[in-house]
Chain A
Amino acid sequence: MTRTILPLTLETVSYAVSGTPLLRDVSLTIGAGRRLVVMGPNGAGKSLLLRLCHGLLAPTTGRVRWASGEARPKAQGMVLQRPVLLRRSVAANLDYPLALAGLPKAERRAMVEASLARFGLAPLAARPARRLSGGEQQRLALARAWALRPEILFLDEPSAALDPSATRLVEAAIASVAADGITVVMTTHDLGQARRLAEDVVFLHRGRLVEHGPADAFFSVPQSPEARAFVAGDLVW
């Protein structure tokens, strides 16, 4: 990684669907090597923010700018809220993005092996992806997003609807990826998970960025009344 795509800068980004603003004037800089957790109640725009960053959506106004100057750099991966696994084996799912990137076969095979080993999927390599358990599917989705060794990973509710033991495995995988220096930007509505994983926090409320700062400060002394209520566990909407 000689030339980095980070930091990622959002300049007064807004997103509206048929006139209804869903995200308003969000300005944000995401630096390299941090674990950033995006929090907020349902409908605050968390998922939208990640998809705008990842380039799945284009902002209605404002700009999403990568340091490399590319419109949509390759060195980024995302795990969607409901990842779609291909109707193929686990190994074939991991190979797919590598094949798209046009890597030679021998190199791909080695990378797939490495991904399988890294995410504890080696015993499942030949299994059909859609027949895995929820936790295994989620780890496969993470491994697939990591397959091209991105600089930054966007994870949208990576452990929603998983039981505690599966959640623990997914969190361990996230922590290990982050330990390699990969920047992680994830959403969660699980406060406990946010406390365990966040170094920085972005707090969204009704489409606006209300707070952005180090996690410790956010959890101990939230600045805004909405964030205070959210951290206290009140029902905020």
Chain B
Amino acid sequence: MSAPFGTAFDLIVSGDPALYEIIGLSLRVTLSAVAIAALLGLPLGAALALARFPGRGAVIVLFNALMGLPPVVAGLLIYLLLSRSGPLGDLALLFTPAAMIVAQTVLILPIVVSLTRSVTEDLWAEYEEQLKSLGATRLRAVPTLLWDGRVSLLTGVLAGFGRASAEVGAVLIVGGNIAGYTRTMTTAITLETSRGNLGLAVALGLILMALTLTLNALAWSLGQWQRERIG
């Protein structure tokens, strides 16, 4: 039981290049996906909170449901789109980091959209009359609400990061777990565990948990500090 942990610490401390390459790729993929999902999802969620159109309820339910989309299903869909005979096959993106970014974005987007909608909807109820009085249109209210809801919205983006960094199914299917190219922490853990190479698996697991913990601690402190400051 303790042997893998010993190996794990050795790998981490010695700065094993294979280990750090995997960590680097994982972070690159997940942070890119989070950034894209935030860029799309924040305005989309806020717009969904403020806009009134037929079928709005259905769209909201759809995004809520997609929060529970199984990663392997998301991976399969992206796979079908990107495979050589698929509609986007000419882009030759399958089994590249770009495909993994797309898959993770698809997984995170519903979380960011749904949480943003819920946060901005509450804020809008409080702000609507005031913003109208000050001369803001609904469209112009979107950035205002996003900025004033920044503390709560950070939680939503972070939840997205959590889902993306933890999932294995989607990146495995569209990335292919190619050593040195599309091997992420989660896919490596799966592979190394099945190979009996527990040291590397444990090292990756520890780092993955440490990363998530650190990020959440940072976000929580930032939130506390902002709450104190802005009231």
A84 within 8 A of B: yes
Residues from chain B with Cβ under 8 Å of A80 in the complex = 129-130, 133
Task: Tell me, in angstroms, the Cα distance from A128 to B227 when the chains sit together.
Answer: 10
Task: Tell me, in angstroms, the Cα distance from A46 to B216 when the chains sit together.
Answer: 49
Residue of B nearest to A100 (CB): B135
Task: Tell me, in angstroms, the Cα distance from A54 to B135 when the chains sit together.
Answer: 11
Per-position 1/0 for A80-92, Cβ under 8 A of B: 1001101110000
**B134 near A97: Cβ-Cβ < 8 Å:** yes
Size class of the A contact interface (CB-based, 8 Å): 20 to 34
**B135 near A101: Cβ-Cβ < 8 Å:** yes
**B129 near A96: Cβ-Cβ < 8 Å:** no
Report whether over half of chain B's contact residues are helix, strand or loop; otherwise say mixed: helix
**B130 near A83: Cβ-Cβ < 8 Å:** yes
Task: Tell me, in angstroms, the Cα distance from A150 to B229 when the chains sit together.
Answer: 31
Residue of A nearest to B129 (CB): A56
Q: How far is the CB of A94 from chain B (nearest CB, A)?
A: 11
**B230 near A100: Cβ-Cβ < 8 Å:** no
Task: Tell me, in angstroms, the Cα distance from A77 to B130 when the chains sit together.
Answer: 11
Task: Tell me, in angstroms, the Cα distance from A228 to B29 when the chains sit together.
Answer: 75
Report whether over half of chain A's contact residues are helix, strand or loop; otherwise say mixed: mixed
A108 within 8 A of B: no
Task: Tell me, in angstroms, the Cα distance from A51 to B148 when the chains sit together.
Answer: 25
**A86 near B144: Cβ-Cβ < 8 Å:** yes
Kindly identify which residue among B127, B136, B144, B231 contacts A131, using a CB–CB cutoff of 8 Å: B231
Kindly identify which residue among B127, B133, B229, B231 contacts A78, using a CB–CB cutoff of 8 Å: B133
Residue of A nearest to B137 (CB): A100
Residues from chain A with Cβ under 8 Å of B136 in the complex = 100
A129 within 8 A of B: yes
Given contacts A74-B135, A97-B135, A101-B135, contact A87 B129 (CB under 8 A): no
Per-position 1/0 for A120-135, Cβ under 8 A of B: 0000000011110000
A144 within 8 A of B: yes
**A56 near B135: Cβ-Cβ < 8 Å:** no
Which residues of chain A (180-223) have a CB below 8 Å from chain B?
Answer: none
Residue of A nearest to B135 (CB): A100
Task: Tell me, in angstroms, the Cα distance from A54 to B136 when the chains sit together.
Answer: 14
Task: Tell me, in angstroms, the Cα distance from A96 to B136 when the chains sit together.
Answer: 10
**Can you show 27 pairs from A to B with CB atoms below 8 A apart?**
A56-B133, A74-B135, A77-B133, A78-B133, A80-B129, A80-B130, A80-B133, A83-B130, A84-B127, A84-B129, A84-B130, A86-B144, A87-B147, A87-B148, A87-B230, A87-B231, A97-B135, A100-B134, A100-B140, A101-B135, A128-B229, A129-B231, A130-B231, A131-B231, A144-B134, A145-B133, A148-B135
